[in-house]
Structure 1
Amino acid sequence: MKLLFVHQNLPGQYLHLIRHFGGDPRHQVVFLTQRHDIQWPGIRIVVYRPHRSVTPGGHHYLRDTEAGVLNAQAVARAALDLRASGFVPDLMIGHNGWGEIWYLKDVFPSTPLLGYFEFFYKRHGADVGFDPTVPTPFDDGPRVRTKNLGNLLALDTVDAGQCPTAWQKSLYPSRYHDLLHVIHEGIDTARVKPSPSAQLQLANGSVLTATDPVVTYVARNLEPYRGFPTFMRCLPDALARHPKAQAVIVGGDEVSYGPRLPSGHTFRQALLAELGTSLDRSRVHFLGKVPYPTFLTILQISTVHVYLTQPFVLSWSLLEAMAAECVVVASDTAPVREVIRDGDNGLLVDFFSSAAVSERIGAVLRDRASYTELGRRARQTVCSGFDLNTICLPRHLALIAQLTGIDVSSAQRSPQQGVA
C-alpha cells in the first residue's frame, strides 16, 4: 500500500501508524511535514513550507484560517510534485488542525482521505467561558464560530474522520457524527507500566524511588489550561502537612493554549513570585521537558499524580499515568470524566480548588496502601479501552481497510523509535 501522511510536526498523532507501516517493506510511506530535523526508518520525509506568513493587520477572526490556507497550498504543491514523480497514494491521512489536508483531494481526487479531528470550538460547553475570572465579551462568540471554518471545510473534504475520545467527537455538530470514528492513538501498556524498582535522580543528586512520597504533575507547558496555577497553589499546604514529600513537575515555559503573560514572563515565574516563602522550594523540582524514558520513570515513582485540565483536548499523559498505576487526582471536567470515575479508578476535584487538590493529595500520602487498588483499576481502564496493540491499532487498521479495500492487519511492526 502507498500511504501519504501529513502533519506539520512529524510524527504527531501518527507515531504508532508509521511504526506499523514503515517497518513493512510491502508499504511505501511518504510523510509531508514542516520538520527538517528528523529521519525515520522506512519513511520518505518531504518537508513543506508555506510561501509567506499571515498578512499583518488582517482581521483577527481570520488569522488561523489564513494560516491554514497557506499550509494547505504548500501541501498541495508538494503533493503535485509527488504526483508528477509517479506517486499516487492508496490512502491519505492527516491532521485537520493546521489546514494541511484541505486541498489534498484536489490533487488526488480518487484517493480516500482520513482526517484527524481534535476539537470543535464552542462559545458554551467547552473551554471558552469555563474560567469565571476570564472575561468573555460578545466578540468571543463570532470569533469562535469563525475559528471553525477549517473544521467545516475539512469535514466537507474527508472520506472519514477520527476523533480520539467520545467527548471530543460530541463537540462536533451531530450532522457529521456518522463521518467521525472514535479511535484513540493508543497507549502501549506493555511499555507504560508500573516498576517498583524505578529510580529518578534529581539535579541536586538525590534519588527518588517508588517508596518515597512523591507528588507528580506533567503538562506539555505549565499554563492555566492545564491547571498549573491551581496545582502550584495547593503545594504550600500539601508539602507543609507532609514534611518528607517531594513535588516533581514536568513541562515547558511556553504557552500552548489560551492567553499569554506579557513578553518575557512565564506562569512558572508568576506562581513562584506569588507563593514566595510559603513554598518550600527545596522540595519542588522543575524538570522542564524530559525524554520519554524519563517521563515514564517519573510516573513509576509517583505516589500521587495530579492532572488538571479545562474542558479541552485530553492529554496522553493522563492515560499514561493511569497505565503506570498512578493514583490520579484529576479535575472533574468533561474530558476527564470519560476515563476516570471518582473513587473507583481515580479521584476527581474541582478544577479551581487548590484546597481540594491539597486535601486529596494529603489523603493519598497519609495512607497510600488504601489507594493502591485505584491505581490498579486505572491501569485496567486503559488496558481495556485504550491499549495500543489489542484495541486502538486494530481499530485504526480496520478503518483503513474499510476505506481502501486493502487488508493491512498483518503488517509487521518495526522496532521502537525513541520519543522526545
Structure 2
Amino acid sequence: MRILVIHQNFPGQFRHIAKAWSERPGWEVVGIGREGCPGLHGMRCITYKPHRDVRQQQHHYLSRMESAVLHGQAVARLLLDLKKQGFTPDAILAHPGWGETLYAKDVFPDARLIHFCEWFYSAQGADVGFDPEFPTTFDDHARIRTWNALHLLNLENCDVGVSPTQWQKSRHPQAYQDKIVVAHEGIDTELLGPDPNAQIVLNGRQFKAGEPIITYVARNLEPYRGFHVFMRALEKIQKEHKGCHTIIVGGDDVSYGRRPKDAKNWREKMLREVKVDPSRTHFVGKLPYDQYRKVLQVSAAHVYLTYPFVLSWSMLEAMASGCVVIGSKTAPVEEVLRDGVDGRLAGFHDVEAITAALGERWDAQAPSNDLCVTSRRKAQGFTRFRGLQSYDQLLLPKAGYEQARISFHDQLVSSTMESIS
C-alpha cells in the first residue's frame, strides 16, 4: 500500500494515523507539508513553497482562492516529480483547506482521494455572527460565500470526506452529506489519565493534584475559544474563592478571527479590562506535551469555551485526564458533553453561570468526583485505536467507509452507555 499524507503543517491532525501506517510492513507512506512544517520522525516528508505570494492588488474576496491555487500548483509540481520517480499512491489523505489537493486528481486520477472536511463556512448558524461583541457586515458575508468556492471544489474532487464530529459534518452542504463519514482521528487516551500524585512547576511555583486549580487551554488566547468570557468569569471566581489558582495555557497569536484593534493581543486587552490577582493567575504560554499533560492532571476544574466551531482536542484530552470540564453550551461541546453527566454546561456568554459552575466544584466534592469518572469513560470513545480503525476503512471503496460510519456510531453509543451505567 502506497499512501500520500498531505497537510500544510504536516503531520497536523494526521500524526497518529500517518505514524501507524508508516510502521506497517510493506506500506510506503510519504508526507507532504509546507516548508517549515514539523514533519514526523522516521517518515519521509517532502516540503513545498508557493512560487510567489498573493498579489497585493487582488480583490480581498479572492485572496484565499489565489492562495489556494498557488498552494495547489506547488504541490502538483511535487506530485509530478513523484510520478516521474515511479511513486504512484493508492490513496491520498489530505487536509485540503489551503488548496494543496486542487490538482491531485489531475496527476493521480486513480488514487483514492480522502479529504479531511474540517469546516464549511456560513454567515449564519455557526461561528460567524455568534458573538454580539463582534458584529458582522454584509462585506463579511459576501467574503465568506466566496471563500467557500475552494471547499466546494474540494468536496467535488474527493472520493470520500471525513469529519471528526457530527456537528462539523452537518455544516457542509446537504448535496455532499452522503460523501462524508464521521470519524474522529483519536486522542492518546492510553497516555492521558488522572494521577493523584501529579505535580508540576510553572513560573517558579509548584502545583499539585488535589489543590483548587482552574485550567484553561487554547492554541491561542482569543474570543473564538471564549478567552474574553473566561477572564471575566475568572475575575468573579477569584473574589469568591481566595485560595484558587489558575493555569492558562496558550499563545498570543491568532488562530481564528482577528487581533484586537486596541492591544497587541487578547491577553493584554483582557488584563486591561478585568482585575485578576497576578499571584494566582499563571500565563504559561505554549507547553511541551508532557508538561501540558501534567497541567490537566493537577486541574480541579477545566474550562472549555468555544464558538459553534471546530471541537478542540484539548476538551477531549481534559476529559480523558479525569478533569471536571465546564463547557460552553454550544453545538460542538454538547455533542460530547452532557450537563450533570459528563461535566457541566453553561451558556457561552453567561459569566454568572460559568462562575457558579466553578464555585460548585469547590463546594460539592462528591458529585464532582463522579463527573471525573464519567467524563473519562466518555473520552474512551475517542481512542487512537478506534480512530485508526475508522481511517483504515476510508482506504476502501464505499462499502468500507460505510462500515466505518456504522462502526464509529456504534462505538460512541457503547461509550455513552458505559458512562451511564
Q: TM-score, normalised by structure 1?
A: 0.92
**What is the CA RMSD across the aligned residues, in angstroms?**
1.7
Deviations 1:185-205 (A, max 9, x none): 10221111111111011222x
- Please give the alpha-carbon distance, in whole angstroms, between the structure 1 residues aligned to 2:40 and 2:237: 44
SS at match of 2:10: coil
Equivalent in the alignment of 1:336: 333
Equivalent in the alignment of 2:163: 163
- Please give the alpha-carbon distance, in whole angstroms, between the structure 2 residues aligned to 1:32 and 1:319: 27
**1:112–1:403 contact (8 Å) kept in structure 2:** no
Equivalent in the alignment of 1:187: 187
Equivalent in the alignment of 1:126: 126
- The structure with higher relative contact order (CA 8 Å, sep 6+) is 1
- Please give the alpha-carbon distance, in whole angstroms, between the structure 2 residues aligned to 1:400 and 1:320: 27
Query: Is 2:69 the partner of 1:74?
Result: no
- Please give the alpha-carbon distance, in whole angstroms, between the structure 2 residues aligned to 1:365 and 1:268: 26
SS at match of 2:326: strand
By how many angstroms is 1:284 displaced? 0.3
Alignment of 1:230-379 (within 5 A): 230-262=229-261, 265-275=264-274, 278-379=275-376
**1:94–1:115 contact (8 Å) kept in structure 2:** yes
Deviations 1:318-344 (A, max 9, x none): 011011111000100011110011111
Cα distance change of structure 1 residues 356 and 404 upon mapping to structure 2, 3 Å threshold: closer
Equivalent in the alignment of 1:196: 196
SS at match of 1:93: strand
**1:311–1:333 contact (8 Å) kept in structure 2:** yes
By how many angstroms is 1:306 displaced? 0.1
Q: TM-score, normalised by structure 2?
A: 0.92
Equivalent in the alignment of 1:218: 217
By how many angstroms is 1:25 displaced? 3.8
- Please give the alpha-carbon distance, in whole angstroms, between the structure 2 residues aligned to 1:265 and 1:356: 29
SS at match of 1:194: coil
By how many angstroms is 1:166 displaced? 0.3
Unaligned runs of 5+ in 2: 405-421
Aligned partner of 2:52: which letter? R
Aligned partner of 2:391: which letter? H
- Please give the alpha-carbon distance, in whole angstroms, between the structure 2 residues aligned to 1:333 and 1:362: 21
**2:114–2:394 contact (8 Å) kept in structure 1:** no
SS at match of 2:62: helix
SS at match of 1:114: strand
**2:39–2:45 contact (8 Å) kept in structure 1:** yes
- Please give the alpha-carbon distance, in whole angstroms, between the structure 2 residues aligned to 1:291 and 1:355: 33
Equivalent in the alignment of 1:417: none
Identical amino acids, percent of aligned pairs: 46
Deviations 1:226-247 (A, max 9, x none): 0001111111221122121100
**2:263–2:269 contact (8 Å) kept in structure 1:** no
Equivalent in the alignment of 1:415: none
Equivalent in the alignment of 1:52: 52
By how many angstroms is 1:263 displaced? 8.2
- Please give the alpha-carbon distance, in whole angstroms, between the structure 2 residues aligned to 1:54 and 1:132: 32
Alignment of 1:408-419 (within 5 A): none
- Please give the alpha-carbon distance, in whole angstroms, between the structure 1 residues aligned to 2:61 and 2:39: 36
Cα distance change of structure 1 residues 342 and 182 upon mapping to structure 2, 3 Å threshold: same
